[in-house]
């Protein structure tokens, strides 16, 4: 009996020791922060966050892969509680709504494949790409509706998904299961940030518009008589519809598919009609804004680009202030366009729309003159966008009597040469100077800088050595004189403190290796300052000296999709003078707003590999069938003798003309469009306002 107790005790001791060792070896540490976040979550395990349950979402939040507001089943109070656990601030989150992106369902589109019993879009997509001729069209099998955990999606009569915005939580389940990316999440921010990709159903006119306006949709709204909604659609991408409706060069009409039948739709005149409707109503029609983030943005320059940047920044939820050097907003539009084409009354109306979006305006204030970068940061601005325009803009506000230097040391090469030719007092540029570009004129500028006291001058050329303009120049003598030439390089970032430039970072374009060099001045060989975006550099956590100079860094706006792979300042496609059209300046302003937004949130501006450019391979059509011809509406003109009374050369469409012209729109998709069979022609008959004949539209 005693022996049995001894054996059992020994066994118990051995098992206890084994369990103790196992507990150490196989111990699983549970992060208390993950546990706290999971307890804060509602425990619904609905999958709306895109992860398999609240435990997985808690781990993702702590790992920084999900936001504090990622739980769609919880409200803002839960997001605030999680933010406190994480030690971060919880900004208000705008709702994401699922949004179908296809215009013609399987019932009306051309068919190519049969399903043969398949009832899931993902499976159908694996078989010859699905059923439609269109490579990106909706397959219509309703997989998104079946997958939606909140029953917010149904399949409509046209065979396309219909989203109930009340039920939709923006969880993204539908987006993840759609093999064609037809249904995606949409929000104010998403729509502003996006560049169109080859995976989307875009129309030819939309792709040609520099601002990317959803032309098809606003014309459809005009056709149905919903002018209010038409203005909202236009202002999604264009804050100046009345201005652009009068002066746009209309590249969209060049690619209008209607040209295969008769004449392009009068797209821009219809835009003007909708804009004039807003003005005549006397009530502002404004697009939606994201929730207020409390972040302040300074925009330097009150031309079209700067005002557009402020407009889109406000829509992203930030609080922009525009600083304009002259007494009046609008830039070149005030002086470069005849008042008979663009009356000041129209200009002022659209400018008022910018202010109505919550943009603060301060005129007679110039950066580098009566305003400093350091002062802006100390006043609480989180970012500064430089949009001062090119030589045309500069001469309009100051006829060559003043050399602009928005940040100490940042100047244009042409100003430096002009200073030398003028004689008299010369500014000091510091001992270390970088010259960006300029060809052989850069060598002359280097000589001027040496006379002004510069000791080390670095000239950066984008061209490789065998294409640099230094033929016949003794490189060794230059180096002995403190002048170094670096070929095949591009500046991608500058750094400074307070109002001083301190360093310049450049990349070798062949190897992409980067190097930062000291510089108290940067001389730019262009007719305008790049669209630099200044933000505060990250300050070490142990730095609490409020009197220390503000450290900043600056990059230029991300490049147009056409040149997204280019690197550094003055790359192919970069601006070296003013924009050639106001609509392009609007697009530049939006890109600036997007870059500011991304930099403030630590996002590296980068475009998708599928972004649409002129080199993209897209489906398209080269002819149009089953559409009868119809005359384009002509813009009524004011007689020269009546110009004083009319105030404009073009008097605008009447409502009947706008309806007639809007009905000519084919309501295109990628390769689809509105077809009118012979039996349906009667429904589209109308009398021409210019003849007695009956035409079909």
CA distance 436 to 434: 6
Instruction: Name the residue among 69, 117, 65, 64 with its Cα closest to residue 94.
Output: 69
Q: Could you tell me the pLDDT band of residue 683, with boundaries at 50, 70 and 90?
A: very low
Sign of CA dihedral 293, 366, 329, 571: negative
| DSSP one-letter code for 65 | S
CA distance 159 to 696: 29
Instruction: Name the residue among 152, 160, 153, 163 with its Cα closest to residue 134.
Output: 160
pTM value surpassing 0.85: yes
Cα–Cα distance list, 88 to 79, 83, 199, 455, 601 (Å): 11, 5, 35, 46, 13
Flag whether pLDDT at 76 surpasses 80.
no
| 536/50: higher pLDDT | 536
Sign of CA dihedral 323, 326, 329, 333: negative
Structure-block tokens of residue 189: 């921010």
Q: Is 285 left (phi over 0), alpha (psi -120 to 50) or beta?
A: beta
**Cβ neighbours for 181, distance < 8 A, ≥ 6 positions apart:** 101, 136, 175, 199, 200
Q: What local confidence, expressed as pLDDT, does residue 394 receive?
A: 74
| DSSP one-letter code for 299 | E
Least confident residue range of 56-60, 96-100, 362-366, 686-690? 686-690
Concatenated DSSP letters for 202-229? --HHHHHSTT---HHHHHHHHHHT-HHH
Burial (0-12, 13-18, 19+ Cβ within 10 Å), 256: buried
Flag whether pLDDT at 682 surpasses 70.
no
- Give the tens place of pLDDT for each residue, 604-623: 878 888 999 988 999 999 99
Instruction: Name the residue among 671, 683, 666, 684 with its Cα closest to residue 264.
Output: 666
- Give the tens place of pLDDT for each residue, 131-165: 778 888 899 999 999 999 999 999 998 899 999 99
Structure-block tokens of residue 339: 């008042």
Q: What local confidence, expressed as pLDDT, does residue 45 receive?
A: 66
Flag whether pLDDT at 91 surpasses 70.
no
What integer is the mean pLDDT of 60-66? 72
Q: Could you tell me the pLDDT band of residue 539, with boundaries at 50, 70 and 90?
A: low
The CA radius of gyration of the chain, in Å to the nearest whole number, is 31
Flag whether pLDDT at 348 surpasses 50.
yes
Concatenated DSSP letters for 95-123? PPEEEE--SS-TTTS-B----TT---HHH
Q: What local confidence, expressed as pLDDT, does residue 687 receive?
A: 35
Greatest extent of the chain over all pairs of C-alpha atoms, in Å: 128
- 618 in Cβ contact with 612 (< 8 Å): yes
CA distance 697 to 475: 70
| 85/622: higher pLDDT | 622
Count CA atoms closer than 13 A to 179's CA, side-chain side: 18
- 58 in Cβ contact with 44 (< 8 Å): no
CA distance 62 to 58: 6
Q: Could you tell me the pLDDT band of residue 429, with boundaries at 50, 70 and 90?
A: confident
| DSSP one-letter code for 562 | G
Termini Cα distance of the chain: 108
- Give the tens place of pLDDT for each residue, 20-62: 665 555 555 567 778 787 788 877 666 666 677 788 878 877 7
Q: What local confidence, expressed as pLDDT, does residue 38 receive?
A: 77
CA 227 to chain centroid, in Å, comes to: 26
CA distance 676 to 673: 10
| 126/360: higher pLDDT | 360
């Amino acid at each position: 009996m005693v022996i049995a107790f001894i054996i059992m005790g020994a066994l118990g001791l051995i098992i206890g020791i084994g369990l103790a060792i196992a507990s150490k070896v196989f111990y699983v540490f549970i992060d208390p922060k993950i546990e706290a976040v999971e307890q804060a979550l509602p425990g619904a395990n609905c999958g709306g966050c895109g992860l398999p349950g609240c435990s997985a979402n808690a781990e993702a939040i702590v790992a920084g892969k999900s936001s504090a507001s990622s739980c769609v089943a919880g409200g803002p109070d839960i997001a605030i509680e999680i933010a406190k656990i994480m030690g971060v601030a919880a900004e208000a989150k705008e709702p994401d709504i699922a949004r179908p992106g296809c215009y013609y369902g399987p019932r009306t589109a051309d068919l190519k494949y049969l399903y043969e019993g398949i009832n899931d879009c993902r499976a159908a997509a694996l078989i010859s790409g699905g059923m439609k001729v269109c490579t990106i069209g909706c397959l219509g099998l309703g997989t998104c509706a079946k997958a939606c955990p909140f029953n917010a999606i149904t399949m409509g009569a046209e065979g396309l998904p219909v989203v109930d915005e009340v039920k939709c939580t923006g969880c993204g389940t539908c987006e993840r299961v759609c093999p064609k990316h037809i249904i995606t999440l949409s929000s104010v921010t998403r729509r502003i940030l996006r560049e169109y990709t080859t995976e989307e159903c875009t129309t030819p006119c939309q792709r040609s518009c520099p601002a990317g306006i959803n032309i098809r949709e606003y014309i459809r709204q005009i056709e149905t008589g919903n002018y209010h909604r038409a203005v909202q659609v236009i202002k999604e991408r264009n804050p100046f519809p009345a201005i652009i409706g009068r002066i746009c060069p209309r590249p969209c009409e060049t690619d209008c598919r209607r040209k295969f039948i008769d004449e392009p739709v009068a797209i821009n005149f219809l835009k003007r009609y909708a804009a004039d409707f807003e003005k005549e109503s006397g009530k502002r029609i404004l697009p939606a804004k994201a929730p207020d983030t409390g972040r302040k943005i300074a925009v330097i320059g009150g031309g079209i680009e700067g005002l557009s940047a402020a407009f889109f920044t406000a829509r992203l939820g930030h609080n922009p202030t525009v600083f304009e050097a002259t007494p009046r907003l609008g830039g070149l539009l005030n002086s470069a366009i005849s008042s008979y084409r663009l009356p000041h009354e129209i200009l002022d109306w659209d400018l008022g729309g910018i202010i109505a979006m919550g943009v603060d305006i301060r005129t007679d204030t110039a950066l580098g003159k009566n305003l400093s970068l350091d002062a802006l940061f100390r006043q609480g601005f989180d970012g500064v966008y430089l949009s001062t325009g090119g030589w045309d803009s500069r001469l309009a506000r100051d006829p060559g009597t003043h050399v602009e230097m928005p940040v100490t040391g940042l100047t244009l090469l042409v100003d430096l040469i002009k200073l030398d030719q003028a004689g008299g007092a010369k500014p000091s540029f510091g001992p270390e100077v970088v010259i960006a570009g300029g060809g052989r004129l850069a060598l002359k500028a280097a000589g001027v800088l040496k006379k002004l006291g510069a000791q080390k001058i670095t000239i950066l050329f984008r061209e490789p050595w065998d294409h640099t303009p230094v033929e016949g120049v003794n490189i060794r003598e230059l180096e002995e004189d403190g002048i170094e030439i670096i070929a095949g390089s591009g500046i991608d970032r500058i750094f400074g403190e307070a109002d001083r430039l301190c360093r310049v970072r450049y990349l070798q374009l062949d190897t992409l290796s980067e190097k930062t060099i000291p510089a108290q001045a940067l001389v730019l060989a262009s007719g305008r300052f790049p669209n630099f975006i200044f933000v505060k550099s990250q300050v070490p956590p142990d730095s609490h000296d409020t009197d220390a100079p503000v450290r900043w860094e600056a990059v230029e706006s991300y490049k147009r999709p056409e040149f997204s792979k280019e690197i550094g300042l003055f790359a192919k496609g970069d601006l070296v003078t003013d924009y050639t059209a106001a609509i392009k300046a609007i697009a530049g302003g939006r890109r600036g707003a997007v870059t500011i937004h991304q930099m403030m949130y630590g996002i590296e501006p980068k475009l998708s590999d599928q972004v649409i450019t002129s080199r993209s391979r897209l489906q398209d059509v080269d002819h149009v069938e089953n559409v009868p011809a119809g005359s384009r509406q002509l813009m009524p003109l004011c007689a020269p003798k009546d110009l004083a009374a009319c105030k404009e050369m073009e008097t605008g469409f009447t409502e009947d003309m706008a309806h007639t012209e809007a009905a000519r729109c084919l309501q295109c998709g990628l390769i689809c469009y509105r077809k009118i069979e012979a039996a349906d022609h009667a429904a589209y008959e109308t009398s021409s306002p210019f003849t007695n004949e009956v035409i079909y539209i």
